[in-house]
């Protein structure tokens, strides 16, 4: 009986065939062998997963768009929805009808902004005997520490109740400083704590507008204000950040406040009820988003939050790519790591309603903090370009064009003045999605940089002041403050440059062999990856 021969794959050897060794031919032959049984099914699966994530993001954006329209058209204003009565000055009672408020200003080597932040806090229109200001200075530079202490002493000599507080170490970073500040004996007389980062400048009436909501509504733990950016027009990088953050404040925070009375505390420009902080377990440094951590824990104990879009505090955006990348790493890694730590605690919680749990787990964490980064990167920077090299895999037009276009339009409502920058904003967000996706995986896996904390560099008014001075005196051009020169390794970002090369190859292939004209998008995306890769985005005005 003749045995049936087993099928085998034979890869011909060009040298034995009498021709020169051609590496390209060998690679092509191997590619043809593995493409149909392996590459095509895997890429099809990736397309289906990305389309599913795109639909999740699309319905999330659509839901928030519908809710924000209803809020703007039909919802009552916060003063009508909540018990609200302004605290009036009383000649007979004096200041006794004002609650004692603690103001905390955490700092770390804030040479450029310490004066304006301390000055803004000391300028709050609140009775001086009912206001306690803490400057929590974790600076490592002795000169800066001396300058900050001197500024505190200057205001103390004017009758302001301000204390300068330092620690022996930076354990817990910002969370550790805030926690240490609440341990002081005089804090037991304070009912509320207002927190302002070193670059934030609240208006004088900030407390008078925020505190009455907490006074009249004992179930409210937090009143969050909106950020306004003093340097949004400094360069293209700050304009891009303004577009992203305006959507966050105009839509995400407003929707969370109106529907579930929950949103993530932004870490600054907010007023907390100290009793709520204590009941939630106080500040914890287990992630780099200690503010979000506290907000979730307080919410699980039944406390409610209020966002006031018309209550604003001036602040500063990172104006260098290096500072922005560190900030985005922290903002992407921290929520993913917190989700890993708290998801089961949220599921098991019995104090909040089922639908609020769904909102926190699915909408707040899963879609916005994880899916939004991953689908942007994997779909538009990896999977879609790969389908050009594998024409057997098709991406439906609704997934490649229609859905991302609608999502982009919905994202643009927060900053109508920058609508002309929308296309470049899309390209820039796609590039940053690489950095955010990497940080998200680090947080989910709790890998090496999961707890990395780098304080965002602030330049204060130095740039704007120099521009104004130069405009007044055009004959003497004043050069702006020089930013520190970066090392070559910090200047060039090889991962972004590698993706620029990958997208360029895919674009060239589509230009020659493709049918969908994706090469237009791919070449523009290549340019944007290259700009970020060479570190020039922060210099474009």
β-pairing, 201-202 vs 304-315, is antiparallel
What's 199-265 look like in SS3?
Answer: CCEECCCHHHHHHHHHHHCCCEEEEEEEEEECCCCCCHHHHHHHHHHHHHHHHHHHHHHHHHCCCCC
β-pairing, 220-229 vs 304-315, is parallel
Return phi, psi of residue 17, to 5°.
-80, -5
State the Cα angle at 382 between 380 and 385, rounded to 5°. 75
Cα separation, 264 vs 335, whole angstroms = 10
Instruction: Look up 246 and say whether it is catalytic.
Output: no
Residue 155 CA neighbour count, 13 Å, CB half = 26
For residue 356, what are the contacts with CB-CB under 8 A and spacing of at least 6? 260, 262, 299
Residue in this structure with the two tokens 């929308």, named with its chain if needed: 422
Residue 425: exposed, middle, or buried by beta-carbon count in 10 A (0-12, 13-18, 19+)? buried
Instruction: Look up 90 and say whether it is catalytic.
Output: no
Q: Which residues pair with 273 in a beta bridge?
A: 192
- For the CA atoms of 195, 198, 201, 202, the dihedral, rounded to the nearest 10 degrees, stands at 10
* Per-residue tokens: 171: 């354990």
- Choosing from 137, 291, 293, 510, the catalytic residue is 291
Beta strand spans in 61-113 (E): 101-107
- Choosing from 138, 197, 199, 246, the catalytic residue is 138
Catalytic residues: 138, 291
């Amino acid at each position: 009986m003749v045995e049936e021969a087993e099928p085998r794959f034979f890869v011909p050897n060009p040298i034995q065939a009498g021709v020169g060794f051609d590496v390209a031919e060998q690679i092509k032959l191997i590619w043809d062998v593995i493409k149909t049984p392996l590459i095509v099914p895997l890429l099809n699966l990736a397309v289906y997963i990305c389309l599913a994530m795109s639909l999740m993001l699309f319905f999330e954006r659509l839901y928030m768009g519908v809710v924000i329209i209803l809020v703007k058209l039909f919802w009552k204003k916060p003063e009508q929805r909540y018990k609200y009565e302004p605290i009036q000055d009383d000649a007979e009672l004096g200041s006794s009808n004002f609650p004692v408020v603690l103001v905390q200003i955490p700092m770390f080597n804030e040479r450029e902004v310490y004066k304006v932040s301390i000055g803004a806090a000391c300028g709050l229109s609140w009775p001086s005997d009912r206001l306690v200001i803490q400057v929590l200075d974790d600076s490592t530079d002795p000169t800066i520490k001396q300058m900050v202490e001197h500024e505190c002493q200057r205001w103390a000599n004017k009758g302001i109740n301000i204390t300068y507080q330092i620690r022996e170490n930076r354990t817990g970073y910002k969370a550790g400083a805030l926690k240490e500040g609440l341990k002081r004996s005089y804090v037991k007389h304070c009912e509320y704590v207002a927190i302002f980062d070193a670059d934030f400048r609240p208006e004088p009436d900030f407390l008078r507008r925020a505190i009455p909501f907490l006074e009249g509504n004992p179930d409210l733990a937090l009143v969050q204000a909106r950020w306004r950016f003093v340097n949004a027009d400094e360069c293209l990088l700050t304009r891009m950040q303004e577009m992203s953050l305006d959507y966050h404040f105009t839509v995400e925070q407003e929707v969370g406040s109106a529907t579930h009375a929950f949103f993530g505390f932004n870490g600054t420009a907010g007023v907390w009820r100290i009793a709520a902080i204590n009941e939630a377990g106080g500040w914890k440094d287990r992630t780099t988003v200690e503010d979000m951590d506290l907000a979730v824990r307080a919410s699980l104990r039944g406390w409610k939050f209020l966002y006031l879009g018309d209550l604003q505090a001036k602040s500063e955006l990172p104006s260098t790519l290096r500072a922005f990348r560190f900030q985005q790493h922290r903002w992407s890694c921290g929520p993913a790591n917190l989700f890993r730590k708290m998801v089961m605690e949220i599921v098991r919680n019995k104090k909040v309603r089922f639908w609020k749990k769904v909102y926190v787990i699915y909408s707040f964490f899963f879609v916005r903090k994880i899916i939004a980064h991953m689908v942007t990167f994997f779909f538009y920077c990896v999977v879609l370009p790969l389908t050009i090299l594998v024409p057997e895999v098709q991406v439906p037009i609704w997934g490649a064009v229609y859905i991302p276009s609608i999502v982009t339009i919905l994202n643009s409502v927060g900053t109508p003045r920058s609508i002309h920058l929308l296309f470049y904003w899309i390209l820039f967000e796609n590039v940053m999605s690489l950095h955010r996706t990497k940080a998200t995986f680090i947080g989910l896996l709790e890998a090496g940089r999961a707890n990395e904390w780098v304080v965002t560099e602030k330049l204060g008014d130095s740039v704007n002041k120099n521009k104004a001075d130069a405009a007044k005196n055009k004959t003497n051009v004043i050069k702006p403050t020089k930013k520190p020169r970066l090392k070559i390794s910090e200047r060039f970002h090889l991962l972004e440059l590698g993706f620029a090369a990958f997208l360029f190859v895919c674009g060239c292939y589509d230009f020659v062999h493709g049918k969908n004209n994706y090469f237009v998008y791919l070449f523009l995306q290549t340019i944007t990856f290259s700009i970020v890769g060479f570190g020039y985005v922060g210099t474009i005005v």
